[in-house]
A = this chain, B = another copy of it.
Amino acid sequence: MEEELIGLEEKELFACCGSTQFAKEMASASPFPCLDGAVSAARHIWFNLVDVNGWLQAFSAHPQIGQSPSSHPKTDPTFAQLKILALPTATAIAYSIILFFIDLCRWSKGEQSTALATATDSTLQELFDWNARYRNKFGFVFLICASGRTSAEILAELKKRYPNRPIVEFEIAAQEQMKITELRLEKLFSAKPKAALTGYK
């Protein structure tokens, strides 16, 4: 009996979670019979096989909203970040936060606008300030699966997590990254035409 399997390529897996090791291991495990199978493999790979350098690599793939638009980034800025750096400061702050939310939410279903629709100028500024503090303390960007959350809820969560020890926050960020990855895998599966293959590889 033939079973329909969904093949995922390394490049699109890297877009779901920016760790080279994650993308390679997932591509090796591909194709998958269903979304649940892919998510289960992703969780195993992310939490058991990807090392802490891989976690940091994936975190650094997100837009750096904790970074002041006028400061020099530690690594080469992306094209989108370069565009932000050229804007007036206030506009740049708002734009970088919007870019961040779009990045976190762009793969989710119809929930992209919750944080943006609820954001006020003062909330955006406070989010920017707290993100800078967070990045300064922990060494990586604040990560949260923003889908369906208001900007006030995100800000409250950031303040709540800020006092954590670095190792505790590191693991929470990894759990949030996994939620984001799951949403992206779901979106990827829903967009894929099912290819009838002759069996598991």
Contacts and interface: CB of A to CB of B under 8 A. Distances in A.
A170 interface: yes
Contacts of A54: 139
A83 interface: no
Contacts of A50: 166
A174 B170 CA distance: 14
Interface string A116-131: 0000000000000000
Interface residues of A, number: 20
Q: Which of A47, A139, A165 has the most CB of B within 10 A?
A: A139
Number of copies: 2
A7 to B, nearest CB: 27
Interface in A24-53: 47-53
A171 interface: yes
Contacts of A174: 167
Contacts of A140: 52
B139 A47 contact: no
A51 B171 contact: no
Contact of A51 (B47, B48, B51, B166): B166
Nearest to A48: B165
A165 B55 CA distance: 13
Contact of A52 (B47, B48, B49, B138): B138
A176 B170 CA distance: 19
A137 interface: yes
A51 B138 contact: yes
Interface of A: 47-56, 137-140, 165-167, 170-171, 174
